[in-house]
Structure 1
Amino acid sequence: MALTQARFNEMVDAHGAALYRIAYRLVGNQHDAEDLVQEAFRSAWNSRARYQANLGERAWLVTILRRRVVDGWRKQRARTISFDETVLDVGVKGDDPADREFEDHVQAALAELPEQLRETLLLVVVGELTHQEVADMLSIPLGTVLSRVSRARTRLRKLLSEEEVKHS
C-alpha cells in the first residue's frame, strides 16, 4: 500500500529527531546531518509506492538514511562516526563545557572503532532497531550483530577509560 501524505508527515514528526541523531553521529557535522535527513526523507517520499507498513517504518527510514550516508562517504571518502549509549540520548553538543569535553572524548574514542562495529552499534543504540532488524538490514547473521555490539561496547569502554586515565 502506498504511503499517504498524512502518514508520511506523521513519520517525519515521529522519527525525524532519531534520524538526525543517527546522521549526526555518523558524520559529526550538524549541517551535513540535516542535509542527510532531508535527503533521506525525500528519498522515502519518492519511493512511497514501495513502502510496506508491516516491515517497520523506522527500519525503513534508517535503511534509506544509511544509504544516503554511504553515498556521501563514497563521494568524499571522509568518515567521522561516533556514538555511545551514555552520550546518544543527550543529543548534540550542549552549552556546558564539561558536557562538550566529555562528548569530544567519546567522539575521539568512537573514531578509533572499526567501521563495522561503529555502524552496528549505532543502528542498535541510536537507531533503536532490534538486533534482528539490524541483521536483516546488513544481511548478516543475528549472532554477528550481537557479537559486533558486544565488541564495540567493550572497546569503547576501554578507550574511554584510557582517556580518563590520561586526563586524571
Structure 2
Amino acid sequence: MDRTRFSELIRCHHLTLLSYARAVAGQESTARELVQDAFVAAWQNIGRFDVTRDFATWMRGILRNKWREHCRLHSREVPFDEAALSALEATLASHPQGDAAVFARLAECREKLPEPMSQALRVCYDEGRTSDDAAGLLGLNPAALRKRLERAREALRLCLSKND
C-alpha cells in the first residue's frame, strides 16, 4: 500500500478511531496519543496488513493493543476488561462508516446510570485514576469499586443493545 492510499484511509477512519480511544481512555490527551501511536504502528507494519481484511478492524486492533500497553506502562488497574472491549468493538463493527452516533448513544446511556455508577466511571475513566485512588476518593474498598464498574459497564452494554 502506498503512502497516498494509507493517508486516505487514515483520514477516513481518524474520527472513529479517536472516538474509540476516547471511550476506552477517558482522557482526550491520552486518546489522541493512542491514536497517533496506532497510526505510526500501522504505517510501520503496513506490509503485514491483509488487504482482504477490513482496515478499520485492523486499526481498532492496533489501537486496542496500544491501550493495553498504555495500561501496563501507567499501572492503570481498572482498564476495560476483554468483554467490555469486545462489546465496544462489536458495536463499532456494526457501523462500518464510523458512525459517531454510537458514541452519542453511549453518552445518552451513561446519563441514565445511577449516580454511584456514574461517579465510578467518571473517576476511573474520565479522570484516569487508579482503582485504589478512585476507591479511596469514593469511600469504597477496591473490590466494591471493581464490582460497581462491572455493573456500570453491563448497564451501558444493555442500554446500547436496546438502542440498536
Secondary structure, in 3 states, of the residue corresponding to 1:54? coil
Aligned length: 105
Aligned residue in 2 for 1:21 = 19
Looking at structure 2, the residues matched to 7 and 40 of structure 1 have their Cα atoms a distance apart, in angstroms, of: 17
- Residues 15-164 of structure 1 correspond to what in structure 2 (within 5 A)? 15-78=13-76, 115-126=81-92, 128=94, 155-156=154-155
Give % identity. Answer: 22
Question: Deviations along 1:80-112, whole A, 9 cap, x unmatched?
Answer: 66xxxxxxxxxxxxxxxxxxxxxxxxxxxxxxx
Structure 1 residues 2-17: aligned runs within 5 Å: 3-17=1-15
In 2 relative to 1, CA 157–36 (structure 1 residues): closer, same or farther, beyond 3 Å? closer
- Cα gap change, 1:159/1:51 in structure 2, threshold over 3 Å: closer, same or farther? closer
Shift of the 43–153 alpha-carbon distance from structure 1 to 2, 3 Å rule, reads same
Paired position in structure 1 for 2:114: none
Q: Give me the whole-angstrom Cα distance separating, in 2, the residues matched to 1:63 and 1:71.
A: 12
State the Cα distance separating 1:78 from its structure 2 match.
Answer: 1.5
Q: Any idea what the Cα deviations from partners look like across 1:136-161, whole Å, max 9, x if unmatched?
A: xxxxxxxxxxxxxxxx899315998x
Q: Output the amino acid matched with 1:16.
A: H
Q: Tell me the TM-score normalised to structure 1 length.
A: 0.54
In 1: Cα distance, 2:42 partner to 2:157 partner: 38
Give the Cα–Cα distance (whole angstroms) in 1 for the partners of residues 18 and 156 of structure 2: 25
CA contact under 8 A between 1:23 and 1:36: conserved in structure 2?
yes
Taking the aligned partners of 1:68 and 1:116, their CA distance within structure 2 comes to 14
Q: TM-score normalized by structure 2?
A: 0.56
The secondary structure found in structure 2 opposite 1:78 is: coil
CA contact (8 A) 1:36 1:68 kept: yes
Query: 2:142 maps to which residue?
Result: none
Q: CA deviation at 1:118?
A: 1.4
